[in-house]
C-alpha cells in the first residue's frame, strides 16, 4: 500500500506532462523527471518495507524458539529496523531532489 501511495502522485504528474508533450512531438524533460522521481520513491519504499517485514518475522520466530534471548534479539531487531527505515528516508530525499531540484 505504501508503494502505491508513494508512486501515484509523481506518476500522475508525469503522465500529464507526457500527454502534453506528446502533442508537441514526444516526452518532455519534465515528464522524465517526474517518472524518475516516482520510480525512485516506489522502489525506495518497497524494499525497506519488505526488509522490515522480513526482519520482524524472523525475530518473532527466534523469540518463539528461545524466549530467554529477548534482550539480544530485541536490540538487534530495533537497530535493523532503524537502518531499513533510513534507506526509505534516503529514497524520499532522492525523489524530492529529482522532482524539485534537478
Percentage, residues of the chain above pLDDT 70: 89
pLDDT value, residue 57: 94
Q: What is the pLDDT of residues 15-27, one digit of tens each?
A: 777 777 655 656 7
* Whether residue 58 has pLDDT greater than 80: yes
* Whether residue 59 has pLDDT greater than 80: yes
C-alpha–C-alpha distance, residues 45 and 69, integer Å: 31
Coil, helix or strand for 75? helix
- Sorted by where each starts, the structural domains of the chain and their CATH numbers stand as 2-100 (1.20.20.10)
pLDDT value, residue 9: 79
Q: What is the pLDDT of residues 68-95, one digit of tens each?
A: 999 999 999 999 999 999 999 999 999 9
CB-count exposure of residue 14 (10 Å: 0-12, 13-18, 19+): buried
* Spatial CB neighbours of 7, under 8 Å, sequence gap ≥ 6: 38, 39, 41, 42, 45
Q: Kindly state the cell numbers that stand for 71.
A: 534482550
Q: What's the pTM? A: 0.67
Amino acid at each position: 500500500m505504501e508503494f502505491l501511495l508513494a508512486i501515484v502522485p509523481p506518476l500522475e504528474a508525469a503522465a500529464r506532462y507526457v500527454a502534453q508533450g506528446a502533442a508537441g512531438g514526444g516526452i518532455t524533460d519534465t515528464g522524465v523527471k517526474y517518472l524518475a522521481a516516482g520510480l525512485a520513491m516506489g522502489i525506495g519504499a518497497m524494499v525497506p518495507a519488505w526488509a522490515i517485514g522480513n526482519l520482524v518475522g524472523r525475530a518473532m520466530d527466534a523469540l518463539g524458539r528461545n524466549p530467554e534471548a529477548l534482550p539480544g534479539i530485541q536490540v538487534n531487531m530495533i537497530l535493523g529496523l532503524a537502518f531499513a527505515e533510513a534507506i526509505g528516508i534516503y529514497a524520499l530525499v532522492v525523489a524530492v531532489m529529482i522532482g524539485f531540484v534537478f
